[in-house]
Amino acid sequence: MAKNKRKNRYKKHLVHLFILPAALIYGVFQLYPLISAALNSFYSFNGFERVDFIGFQNFITLFTEKPYKDFFLNAFSHNWIYFFVTVITQLIISLILALIIHSKIKGKEFFKSMFFLPKLLSVIVIGFLFSLILNPTRGALNTLLEAIGLEAFTRPWLGDMSTALLSVIFVDSWASIGFSMLIFLAGLQAIDKEIFEAARIDGANSFTVLFKITLPMIGPALMIMTVLTFIGSFETFEYVFAMQGSSGGPYYSTDVLTTFFYRLAFGTVDGGQAIGLGSAVAVVLFIIIGMATSLILFVFKRKDFER
């Protein structure tokens, strides 16, 4: 008996060995870059290699010296705009879509896959397609607006300071709407139908059902999607880069923290690299996301307790 037990324990520990390859890959490709980026932000660079430990100097430069502080604030404000607009264009709309699909309409499955389809396309392809659609003279959008008599609304969408960022956010939302819709749909489907029936019998109208039952019941899905949207809005890079380039043009009107980071850390084709400063941006970004995510979770969790 005793021998068998020992054997069992040995077997149990043997299993742990199997995470070693995954742990190694995680360590090399996730942990190591994370730690080295954090370390880099405390060093000066000679354009190539780490030279001296300089404490918080990179952070001080970032927040106090021109042009960095202006770039940082500008990009930071764009990230916030990105977040708030995405909440409307992606979260709220996808929630409405999920509610519609969850109701008794025909062709549910068809719409579900249609809304999810853009997620399967590569970002570069989407960026390219929308650059064509938003082209001021030959683009489909302006052509359509002209055809239906709305010439007054035609814009050089991606070349106008006031519309460029919104256009990029719209494209991002268009591509990602299917994913958040699916999360909400899963939440909706998990609610017991009897609850709705009971509410109806008690005389609740549709609005009461929506605000008193449906939304509270999909609280976890809302929480996850708010957190993911926040992280997504602050880490956003691909759509800005694919459509407006690393300088977040025109004239930095679509510049976000990640493109600012990219320009510093990797340099432009003809500019130099500032790896220390770039890493400082990355660390600040990490802290912002970490703090805001905890705050959002805290708010949602507290609501949970109240209930």
Chain residues binding another protein by CB under 8 A are: 7, 10-11, 14-15, 17-18, 20-21, 44-49, 51-52, 65-67, 71, 131, 134-137, 156-161, 244-245, 247, 249-252, 263-264, 266-274, 277
Residue 118: cis peptide before it, omega within 30 degrees of 0: no
Distances (CA, A) of 202 to 102, 195, 209, 211: 22, 11, 11, 15
Q: Which is nearer to another protein, 273 or 293 (CB)?
A: 273
Biggest CA pair distance of the chain: 87
Q: Which is nearer to another protein, 218 or 282 (CB)?
A: 282
Determine contact, residues 157/163, Cβ cutoff 8 Å.
Answer: yes
Of 189, 231, 233, nearest in space to 88 by CA: 233
3-class SS shares of the chain: helix, strand, coil, % to 5 = 75, 0, 20
Taken in order 9, 11, 16, 20, the sign of the CA dihedral is positive
- Least distance from another protein to the Cβ atom of residue 88, Å: 24
Of 76, 66, 131, nearest in space to 258 by CA: 76
Q: Which is nearer to another protein, 219 or 267 (CB)?
A: 267
Q: Which is nearer to another protein, 108 or 155 (CB)?
A: 155
- Least distance from another protein to the Cβ atom of residue 90, Å: 24
Q: Which is nearer to another protein, 145 or 292 (CB)?
A: 145
Determine contact, residues 89/169, Cβ cutoff 8 Å.
Answer: yes
Determine contact, residues 259/248, Cβ cutoff 8 Å.
Answer: yes
- Least distance from another protein to the Cβ atom of residue 1, Å: 18
> What is the chain's length?
307
- Least distance from another protein to the Cβ atom of residue 155, Å: 8
- Least distance from another protein to the Cβ atom of residue 270, Å: 5
- Least distance from another protein to the Cβ atom of residue 54, Å: 11
Q: Which is nearer to another protein, 187 or 278 (CB)?
A: 278
- Least distance from another protein to the Cβ atom of residue 33, Å: 13
Q: Partners of 45 in the beta sheet?
A: 50
Count CA atoms closer than 13 A to 43's CA, side-chain side. Answer: 14
Q: Which is nearer to another protein, 247 or 293 (CB)?
A: 247
Q: Which is nearer to another protein, 35 or 190 (CB)?
A: 35
Determine contact, residues 261/282, Cβ cutoff 8 Å.
Answer: yes
- Least distance from another protein to the Cβ atom of residue 263, Å: 6
Question: For residue 121, what is the DSSP state?
Answer: S
Determine contact, residues 165/81, Cβ cutoff 8 Å.
Answer: yes
